[in-house]
Structure 1
Amino acid sequence: MGIDESAERVIPLPCEQVAAYAMDWRHDAEWTQGIREATLTREAEGGGFGAGAEVTRTAYFLGKRIDYVLRVAAYDPPGLLDMVSVAGPMSMHVTYTFAPHQGGTLARIRVRGDTAGFYRPAAPLMGRKVRSSLVKDLRDLEQRLTPSR
């Protein structure tokens, strides 16, 4: 049993600009719901951020502190950032995609996770909460990048 939630939003800016901000882990706490801190805890093989890098996030979800580590599985800016959890309370797969759109950039976030064990009874609630958070994330991303609008 698991969750599979996604959201998308057209952001009225060029794809490269939206992706550069959203794919930079240093901005995670600025626009991603619940994240209080993000730290690059392992660099990619060639150094810096990219496939193989790991980001440790501290978040609050349903009132509980959660620490988890996401490993970059695929990194192809400005179109794709795909990460899988390698440590944390549940397995998770987070995919960000950015594509040119007539209105600017079509930004999408998809979160898949395994709610087995302790989280199984809360799976329906978690799914709704994740979906709501993703919608807010994309709204906040747009507001962060277009403050005068």
Structure 2
Amino acid sequence: MTIDETAERVIPLPPEQVADYAVDWRNDPEWTQGIRESALTREADTGGFGVGAEVTRTAYFLGKRIDYVLRVAAYEPAGLLDMVSVAGPMAMHVTYTFAPHPRGTLARIRVRGDARGYYRLAAPVMARQVRSSLAKDLRDLERRLIERGGAAEA
């Protein structure tokens, strides 16, 4: 079963501020549902974070630990982060976009995936959970940024 879920939210801060925090893998456990750990496990060919870099995330879903690796397929600072899974229980494609908006930043997260094995049976539950989690992720992202002293100016 294919999962394709998108959530978006206007965050009252500039795109650079929102994107800088959101794409930093070290912040994943602070605002991304279910992520307990996140680490840069392979640098980009040019060093650091960028196209080709890999981030390993540890999450929990339906009581099971899930370790998966996402490779950066496209990266435009303050605008786009596109990642595809290269290891894990299901094929996954995660896209973050950040666009200027009259009230700040239109932040969008899209998750696409093909569930297989145990997760195929749970796919309908997973789709609902992903949809709910993405909306909460964006609320938590905004809250974290405001708590960190983000001024509501765009």
Do the two structures share a fold, i.e. TM-score over 0.5? yes
Q: Secondary structure at the match of 1:21?
A: helix
Gaps of 5+ in 2: none
Q: Over the residues paired in the alignment, what is the CA RMSD in angstroms?
A: 1.2
User: What residue number does 1:15 align with?
Assistant: 15
Q: Secondary structure at the match of 1:92?
A: strand
Q: Secondary structure at the match of 2:85?
A: strand
Aligned partners of 2:76 and 2:88: how far apart in 1?
25
User: What residue number does 2:109 align with?
Assistant: 109
User: What residue number does 2:65 align with?
Assistant: 65
Aligned partners of 1:123 and 1:37: how far apart in 2?
23
Aligned partners of 1:124 and 1:68: how far apart in 2?
20
User: What residue number does 1:96 align with?
Assistant: 96
Question: Percent same amino acid among aligned pairs?
Answer: 80
Cα deviation, residue 117, structure 1: 3.1
Kept in 2, the 8 Å contact 1:2–1:116? The answer is no
Kept in 1, the 8 Å contact 2:52–2:72? The answer is yes
Cα deviation, residue 63, structure 1: 1.7
User: What residue number does 2:146 align with?
Assistant: 146
Moved over 4 A (4+): none
- How many residues align? The count is 149
Question: TM-score normalised to the size of structure 1?
Answer: 0.97
Deviations 1:73-120 (A, max 9, x none): 000111100000000011100000000001100000000000133322
Q: Secondary structure at the match of 1:46?
A: coil
Cα deviation, residue 121, structure 1: 2.0
Aligned partners of 1:105 and 1:60: how far apart in 2?
29
In the alignment, residue 81 of structure 1 is paired with which amino acid? L
User: What residue number does 1:79 align with?
Assistant: 79
Deviations 1:114-133 (A, max 9, x none): 01333222111100000000
